[in-house]
Amino acid sequence: MKIAIAGASGRMGRMLVEAVLSQADVELVGVLDRPGSQLLGHDAGAFIGRESGIRITDDADLALAHAEYLIDFTRPEATLAYLAVARRYGVKLIVGTTGFSEAQKTELASASQTTAMVVAANMSVGVNVTLKLLDMAARMLATGYDIEVIEAHHRHKVDAPSGTALKIGEVLAGALGRDLAECAIYGREGITSERDPSTIGFSTIRGGDIVGDHTVLFAGIGERIEISHKSSSRVGYAQGALRAARFLADKSSGLFDMQDVLGLH
């Protein structure tokens, strides 16, 4: 499997490069980074002391010309720019980018009619099993329990709530027959009045080097139920991305998520 990776200077980009170089059934054929990056021209494996033979570039055509898959954990604008090039070369996409607008999501969906892609806010197998558990719990605790989503990430994360927290909210709202856009509460301050039992609250923490913690609190009268997933490393995200690539091996088009990859739907 010939794989290209976008975002070489990012934490996930580096983890993905290391993961690909350590797997026998995949080959690294291209690595992209943003224009002006100090890593441009350097060997992609230099940070782990391994010569990969692949030079980091900002030229998407060069990076994707011989690729079968592109794994992209960057920013929405960069993802869509790479998508346009990937479609020309018939490259399948595994997208872990978060923060897409509704218009950008529509653009991805449109492209999936001719390009196979897995798009997921979180590629971790554990997180996606947690989503399944939350769907089950929300259906059973639909009345009498207030729901709060608490997420924590490192100080460098630029979007809030996290894409995973929003996906959690979508799963909870779907299980309860609600529209997240109408029931989500993203912040509280001052006199807020009593809690509306139909709402789903979100709390965001940013600090230090927290990889990613997500907890859903079901608060009832006389008891609380918490379902949590905590990441101590990005290895799980990288391994999930490779699993998604293998899932796409026999797909020529379509928009899939990690629930599809894991057979959880």
**Around Cβ 142, how many Cβ atoms within 10 Å?**
13
pLDDT over 90 (residue 11): no
Distance CA 105, CA 85 (A): 18
- Taking each helix axis from N to C terminus, what angle separates 11-21 and 235-247, rounded to the nearest 10 degrees? 60
Distance CA 154, CA 151 (A): 11
Distance CA 90, CA 77 (A): 20
User: In sequence order, which residues have a C-beta less than 8 Å from that of residue 77 and are 6 or more positions away?
Assistant: none
- pLDDT tens digits for range 109-166: 999 999 999 999 889 999 999 999 999 999 999 999 999 999 999 999 988 999 899 9
What does DSSP assign to residue 195? P
Ranges 2-6, 97-101, 106-110, 249-253: which has the least confidence:
97-101
- pLDDT tens digits for range 178-208: 999 999 999 899 999 999 999 999 999 999 9
**From the candidates 92, 153, 167, 214, which is the catalytic residue?**
153
User: Is 132 designated active site?
Assistant: no
108 near 100, Cβ under 8 Å? yes
- At 98, the pLDDT band (50, 70, 90 cuts) reads confident
User: In sequence order, which residues have a C-beta less than 8 Å from that of residue 57 and are 6 or more positions away?
Assistant: 30, 31, 32, 33, 40, 41, 63
In the chain, DSSP finds a helix count (H) and a strand count (E) of 9, 12
Distance CA 244, CA 43 (A): 26
Looking at residue 122, its pLDDT comes to 87
Looking at residue 234, its pLDDT comes to 85
Does the domain at residues 125-231 carry the CATH identifier 3.30.360.10? yes
Looking at residue 55, its pLDDT comes to 97
- pLDDT tens digits for range 23-44: 999 999 999 999 999 999 999 9
Q: If we measure between CA atoms, which residue out of 10, 9, 50, 58 comes closest to residue 28?
A: 50
Q: Which residue spans of the chain are classified as CATH 3.40.50.720?
A: 2-119+234-261
pLDDT over 90 (residue 219): yes
User: In sequence order, which residues have a C-beta less than 8 Å from that of residue 139 and are 6 or more positions away?
Assistant: 175, 176
Looking at residue 137, its pLDDT comes to 98
Q: Which residue spans of the chain are classified as CATH 3.30.360.10?
A: 125-231
Q: If we measure between CA atoms, which residue out of 256, 262, 21 comes closest to residue 118?
A: 256
CATH topology of domain 2-119+234-261: Rossmann fold (3.40.50)
User: Is 157 designated active site?
Assistant: yes
pLDDT over 90 (residue 265): no
pLDDT over 90 (residue 99): no
CA torsion 230→234→239→240, rounded to 10°? 50
**From the candidates 2, 42, 132, 157, which is the catalytic residue?**
157
Distance CA 73, CA 218 (A): 31
Looking at residue 60, its pLDDT comes to 97
